[in-house]
Chain A
Amino acid sequence: MSNKNWPLFEVFIRSKNGLSHKHVGSLHASDAEMAITNARDVYTRRKEGVSIWVVESKNITASNPDEANSLFDPAEDKVYRHPTFYQLPDELEHM
């Protein structure tokens, strides 16, 4: 059996204390169901997670590194966009 035809999936795991799923890596699987079990076996053996998302890599649209200048540089001198000028009340969690 060869896996040369199995599509690539990107795997996202939410850890027990985490609030969002984080990208942990990628793997091959013949379908999404198999990708979930594969991800469980490859990426959660040491209790890393409580939830798994998989998405076929081809469905991810990535930004073009060549456009990094136009996409990200303009944010560099806009320090006022950080909420660092406010007093945050203690009750506000997860900022």
Chain B
Amino acid sequence: MTPNTDNLVQYVLCYADNAMILGQRLSEWCGHGPALEQDIAITNIALDLIGEARMWYQYAAEFEGNGKTEDDYPYKRVDRQWRNVLLVEQPNGHFGHTIFRQFMFDCFHYYFSLEMMHSNDQRLSEIAAKSNKEASYHLKYSSEWMLRLGNGTDESHQKMQEATDDLYIYFNELFEATPFDESLMGIAPDLSKVKERATLKFNEIMKETSLDIPEVKYPQTGGRKGIHSEHLGYILTELQFLQKTYPNAQW
């Protein structure tokens, strides 16, 4: 079965954009990490994610054809064309916010890539296999920090609770089917399955940290349809500055 080109490209962009925007966000920590060792740890994760985004973008460009390149997607789209979830564009906040955002994303990313490895699309399953190794380290890293800060001092616990209260509303969107899942049966993994396993892991760590999971009255969603928070515009301004100022500039 050959899927509709546009559906597959847009589907791939959902995951490319997640990795790209979170990678961009994390790279803001470069030179500002709470300790030299964490500075480099976080920028390593940023680079893993940007590397992953490139693999998705390259595939989208090849699939779409028409002379598209991997750079066209990150540099030449306006905010309404981006399909990342809202979580990844949220500001870094304090270190606790960054860790909690990362932890939620990693729970998703690890189990998502694990499922994606069974995709009928060979290229997608290969990308998933590579990123799953990285995601498993990211999840270990963020889980350890969740435990360390959640069970640390009164202050660190309180800050982690604050991060949880601020960002947990974005968790569910990670597991919402993209607008393209239905047309890509056998290619797109079943996100309800991903949600089940990721939530188990999430709950296990949350229990160990004795952080309260807040009740969500208004879960935030819309990113995959191109409806973003105000933050994305600022990220894109910085990310696309060079291409906008010097169109088609090359290294």
State the A residues within 8 Å of B (CB). Answer: 1, 3, 6, 27-30, 33-34, 37-38, 40-42, 45
Contact = CB atoms under 8 A, between A and B. Distances in A.
Given A1-B34, A3-B35, A28-B35, A37 B40 contact: no
A41 B95 contact: no
B144 interface: yes
Contact of B37 (A27, A33, A45): A27
Q: How large is the interface on B (under 10, 10 to 19, 20 to 34, 35 or more residues)?
A: 10 to 19
A41 B40 contact: yes
- Give the one of A1, A3, A34, A42 with max B CB within 10 A: A1
A28 B35 CA distance: 9
Interface string B113-149: 0000000000000000000000001001100100010
A38 B34 contact: no
B140 A6 contact: no
Interface in B19-44: 34-38, 40-41, 44
Interface of B: 34-38, 40-41, 44, 95, 137, 140-141, 144, 148
Given A3-B35, A42-B37, 16 more contacts: A1-B34, A28-B35, A28-B36, A28-B37, A29-B37, A33-B144, A34-B144, A37-B41, A37-B144, A38-B37, A38-B38, A41-B37, A41-B40, A41-B44, A42-B36, A45-B40
B138 to A, nearest CB: 11
B35 A41 contact: no
Nearest to A41: B41
Contacts of A38: 37-38, 41
A42 B44 CA distance: 9
Contacts of A37: 41, 140-141, 144
Contact of B40 (A30, A33, A42): A42
Contacts of B40: 41-42, 45
29 contacts: A1-B34, A1-B35, A1-B95, A3-B34, A3-B35, A6-B35, A27-B36, A27-B37, A28-B35, A28-B37, A29-B37, A30-B148, A33-B144, A34-B144, A37-B140, A37-B141, A37-B144, A38-B37, A38-B38, A38-B41, A41-B37, A41-B40, A41-B41, A41-B44, A42-B36, A42-B40, A42-B41, A45-B40, A45-B44
A34 B41 CA distance: 11
Contacts of B148: 30, 34
B4 to A, nearest CB: 40
A37 B42 CA distance: 11
A64 B139 CA distance: 43
A30 B40 CA distance: 16
Contacts of B44: 41, 45
A28 B39 CA distance: 12
A37 B38 CA distance: 10
Contacts of B95: 1
A28 B73 CA distance: 40
A38 B38 CA distance: 7
